[in-house]
Amino acid sequence: MYGLHLRSPSILAARVLKGRGLGAAKIGIDKLYVDASFVDGLTAALPECEISDGTRILSDLRAVKSVEEIECLSEAAKITEEAFEAVTPIIKEGTRLIEIKQKITQEMTQQSGGEVGHITLKVGPAKLPPGEKLEAGDILCVDCGAKFRNYRADISRQWAIGKVPATEWDTMEVISAAVDAMRGKLRPGTKFSEIYRAGNDIMAKVNPRYKGMLLMGHSLGIESHERPYISPDEEKTLEPGMVLCLEVPHKGTYVFNCEDEYLITQDGYKIMTARTSSRLKQV
């Protein structure tokens, strides 16, 4: 038992820090990824250290991606879009949701270095359990993302199964207008809150609940949702090298969620997920 204690992560970390002359340093801990027992152990092992919460500082540092990180994020997006392309032919009346999820999983994992990050399927107007089949008149919304070298994608696509009410196509047009308005703000120097307002002002006209929407997108990296968020009170500004998702969900009789990824460049943006379309597709 004593030997296990000596090999505990906090004890080993304390030895490394002392060996580098940091036994009495000021240390910031990312509390999103480090559990409380480690912090307690490190504090006990380094009583002269000032250990504080460095989560926000480290989050801000991760907001601007390196060239290598952008390459990993681009590959994760590519794998995800290839999975969308591969699954589209089986999205039709009579297909079970579990088959769709299995196909996406298969496509993501057969790519070199590809892993599944998340897969969420939503169907309207009726909510279907995984074993149920798609029916004519359904709209299927798939929000998913592959991982590549621990960097994630986060993309949403939607399909109309046969004929759906004309009102839903009208809703899609409003959502697309909101996305376009948000895209128009994507340039260095723009506040995240300005991007939020550009989309929210349009969506609130057709969905009053949007006035209370907390987020309309987020940054992306080793987590699918990272700071800074596209929120009404985020005053940070866009910088070249940031990667973010614009996300415009709508829940009525049917569920929609338009979500694409964007790289902020020196003079604007590059869409990282242009291979497939976030607009509603009829199958």
Question: Domains in the chain, start-ordered, CATH in brackets?
Answer: 2-53 (no CATH), 67-282 (3.90.230.10)
pLDDT digits (tens, 9 = 90+) for 61-76: 999 999 999 999 999 9
Q: What is the pTM of this model?
A: 0.89
Q: Is 1 helix (H, G, I), strand (E, B) or coil?
A: coil
The whole-angstrom separation of Cα 225 and Cα 191 is 18
pLDDT digits (tens, 9 = 90+) for 111-132: 888 999 999 999 987 666 767 8
Averaged pLDDT, 9-36: 90
Averaged pLDDT, 132-156: 96
Q: Are 258 and 183 in contact (CB under 8 A)?
A: no
Averaged pLDDT, 134-147: 96
Pairing verdict, β 155-160 and 281-282: parallel
Q: Is 107 helix (H, G, I), strand (E, B) or coil?
A: helix
pLDDT on residue 58: 87
* The pair of three-digit structure tokens given for residue 40, joined into one six-digit string: 């307690």
pLDDT digits (tens, 9 = 90+) for 24-64: 999 999 888 888 889 999 999 999 999 999 888 888 899 99
pLDDT digits (tens, 9 = 90+) for 233-275: 999 999 999 999 999 999 888 889 999 999 999 999 999 999 9
pLDDT on residue 55: 87
The whole-angstrom separation of Cα 122 and Cα 141 is 5
In the predicted structure, residue 81 carries a pLDDT above the cut 50: yes
pLDDT on residue 137: 93
**Residue corresponding to tokens 């614009």:** 246
In the predicted structure, residue 206 carries a pLDDT above the cut 70: yes
Q: Are 262 and 239 in contact (CB under 8 A)?
A: no
